[in-house]
Structure 1
């Protein structure tokens, strides 16, 4: 092995995909139990390593030289074997975190910053904020001077940074704090990248607060590691291209709209064209309930159906790289909207009311009912979606417009 990532558990890592996309070397993932770490490092059958939890501090004694940045943060996440065989340790998380915040338009200069968490990543965030001129930095932890139960010393923070694992897969939907407790907040940074948008980031977006998840940090710190491995920086346009390609590969495409607007038809066409798995949430509900949607409404009522629907939105919304068609009323629940947006770009399919299919639709049996439903739901569709797509022509046309928009959005 020339280059790779070592850690104890690496099941959900994107590192190999990112480094291989840089195109300069092969890259492997190596899961190591603690008792084998020293032998692996001292064996030196590699040219460069990235290091993840729980070994970022454990590898430091094996390094012959450690960068000032790594010493300041107190951990090493990149090791380079020099031509003379000596090991140089550095920390590229600093560069990755700084690049992530800058790309989101979040400046720490003169701001009060609340950093949630007190671990290694918290040290990185605090170092970046201090280096960027933060006026004050408050660390929030379970047992420190400022705790989650008493945020009075942090409530006037301008920027909130989450470095805890709260909200990370598989615990999607959880959040370490509510932004209601930070009325002055103008920026949110969350280092979590799975899901793409945590509950904290989603709350910030709904409030119109500048925000970012951690996927760009992951890519940017890998680019800094590339520079250490290869002795030359990765071109900026290559970094952006790799990030956008990764984002497009993992982000879901989610279709919402009125009953009968063509979500299933367009979704199937789109999934086939993109080579993706298609998921119809109504079909998933029917499979679990053992009866059709109209039968669920007739025998068990709408409330039971909505319960099944929430479960389906939560299950498939946390997955990646899918095309998902939601039921017409999926947007009625804020919980569903958040579940589908966490890993998805959401499209609203629009079709004239007189062209909507009504057969077998429990709540939209005639045009009058459709008009009333559309009036109630339109604000929620607008809140849920990223882009509206006209579907009054052929479904293939709508599918192509979504495909074009999805990849155009991934390039900007």
Structure 2
């Protein structure tokens, strides 16, 4: 048996990741009693996650040098004599990312948020990379560490590794009180990989800083763990295709576009193709409120409707792996759109006006004539274009052809995320 050991594993990507590497029987092992699990389970090898990365070390007869130095393991293999050997492949992943992306000037301060297992591994990786001024910031700092009350100091660092679960789905909004604009930071790594774009990474990129989430780190540590499991070199050539595969698996696909663009029709068909769950936000609002959208507008007003729309859309988006057909006016809410960007890919369905002119104007509270529709398009089309990651110019009603085009463009988008954002930078 090979699998992942932890306490709460419902959101883990380890199973689809290792299955993609050929370990079809990979399992998830949840336990509250580590000692009993170790003594009663005939496993061949394990990945180990929170909260057992430290406690597991004491059950291992032998350890690699990183485990000896950090007291942290995330990979355990049962040897031929039945004893357990501990490895730390998070270190291998972090070392690679530091080599690829960290500032070459090792005299700059390096900041780490957190003081748990991942933070200790990051500290050791930075030390081995030649950094001498490494500062840990934590809510409960230990001697020699800094309080998060001093987080503004991070603006003077050359790099930041965020090594806590803060910002993990379904929490899309929590952020550190850290203004990154105008800082000296050259690279930010957030070890959180779900949502695909954390708020920290989003704000860092807004500030012009090279920034990455934890997905590449997750895959790298898994490749090294797979090598230990199979006693072979890690298959690092699988990194780029696995990145596209897991991003496609994890991300929401959010359909934006004007009324009559066909988002509600496309969502369930795309859900079948991508193995995700379809959601129509207007229908969801009607279900939750017991009122039609048009009645909400007429009785309660647009402000109330937009509040409902933001809450319901963000609630489903935080669950991940959704196909979300948004209302045509969702793009009017910038905080909502930025949150949706963090959860996946935004697809603009852009229909020709000629395709929609014969459609009935029912249950459309802001459209009573085609003049209204054209005015609305003129106002909103720039917003659709601003937020879209992928644009589908809809020139026909051939549903199969539209679905094929969306799938082709999304596959290209997921591949390009590695090429454009994650691959090693040229020295």
Calculate the TM-score normalised by the size of structure 2.
0.87
Q: Which aligned pairs between 1:129-148 and structure 2 lie closer than 5 A?
A: 129-134=126-131, 136-144=133-141, 145-148=145-148
Counterpart Cα distance in 2 of 1:410 and 1:113:
31
Report if the CA contact (8 A) 2:180-2:207 is conserved: no
Equivalent position of 1:391 in the other structure: 394
Question: Displacement, 1:325?
Answer: 0.9
Equivalent position of 1:404 in the other structure: 408
Counterpart Cα distance in 1 of 2:98 and 2:347:
27
Question: Displacement, 1:219?
Answer: 2.0
Counterpart Cα distance in 2 of 1:93 and 1:165:
15
Equivalent position of 1:28 in the other structure: 27
Report if the CA contact (8 A) 2:89-2:222 is conserved: yes
Q: Which aligned pairs between 1:183-194 and structure 2 lie closer than 5 A?
A: 183-194=183-194
Q: 1:153 aligns to what SS in structure 2? A: helix
Question: Displacement, 1:308?
Answer: 0.9
Q: 2:155 aligns to what SS in structure 1? A: coil
1:109 alignment partner, one of 95, 99, 104: 104
Q: 1:402 aligns to what SS in structure 2? A: helix
Report if the CA contact (8 A) 1:253-1:323 is conserved: yes
Equivalent position of 1:50 in the other structure: 47
1:303 is aligned to 2:303: yes
Counterpart Cα distance in 2 of 1:288 and 1:38:
46
Question: Displacement, 1:45?
Answer: 2.1
Question: Displacement, 1:81?
Answer: 1.8
Equivalent position of 1:165 in the other structure: 165
Equivalent position of 2:424 in the other structure: none
Equivalent position of 2:82 in the other structure: 85
1:13 is aligned to 2:4: no
Of 136-145 and 333-342, the range deviating more from structure 2:
136-145
Of 314-323 and 135-144, the range deviating more from structure 2:
135-144
Question: Displacement, 1:232?
Answer: 0.6
1:359 alignment partner, one of 361, 366, 370: 361
Q: 1:342 aligns to what SS in structure 2? A: helix
Of 82-91 and 270-279, the range deviating more from structure 2:
270-279
Q: Report the RMSD for the aligned CA atoms in angstroms.
A: 2.5
Counterpart Cα distance in 2 of 1:108 and 1:74:
27
Report if the CA contact (8 A) 1:4-1:49 is conserved: yes
Equivalent position of 1:66 in the other structure: 63
Report if the CA contact (8 A) 2:280-2:326 is conserved: yes
Equivalent position of 1:291 in the other structure: 291
Encode CA deviations 1:87-117: one digit per residue, 9 max, x unaligned: 2111111122344566xx6224324332111
Report if the CA contact (8 A) 1:146-1:153 is conserved: no
Report if the CA contact (8 A) 2:279-2:322 is conserved: yes
Q: 2:185 aligns to what SS in structure 1? A: coil
Question: Displacement, 1:148?
Answer: 2.9
Report if the CA contact (8 A) 1:390-1:398 is conserved: no
Question: Displacement, 1:10?
Answer: 2.1
User: Structure 1 residues 156 and 377 mapped into 2: Cα distance closer, same or farther (>3 Å)?
Assistant: farther
Encode CA deviations 1:173-219: one digit per residue, 9 max, x unaligned: 21223444662333221111222222212223444432222222222
Counterpart Cα distance in 2 of 1:187 and 1:379:
31
User: Structure 1 residues 376 and 205 mapped into 2: Cα distance closer, same or farther (>3 Å)?
Assistant: farther
Calculate the TM-score normalised by the size of structure 1.
0.90
Question: Displacement, 1:51?
Answer: 1.6
Encode CA deviations 1:233-276: one digit per residue, 9 max, x unaligned: 23223343334322212222111112222222333443344454
Counterpart Cα distance in 2 of 1:286 and 1:210:
41
Counterpart Cα distance in 1 of 2:83 and 2:41:
10
Q: Which runs of 5+ in 2 are unaligned?
A: 417-427
Equivalent pairs counted in the alignment come to 407
Of 46-55 and 221-230, the range deviating more from structure 2:
46-55
Counterpart Cα distance in 2 of 1:5 and 1:125:
21
Encode CA deviations 1:19-44: one digit per residue, 9 max, x unaligned: 2221156322222223xx22433457
Report if the CA contact (8 A) 2:254-2:325 is conserved: yes
User: Structure 1 residues 243 and 368 mapped into 2: Cα distance closer, same or farther (>3 Å)?
Assistant: same
Counterpart Cα distance in 1 of 2:152 and 2:341:
31
Q: 1:56 aligns to what SS in structure 2? A: coil
Counterpart Cα distance in 2 of 1:28 and 1:261:
42
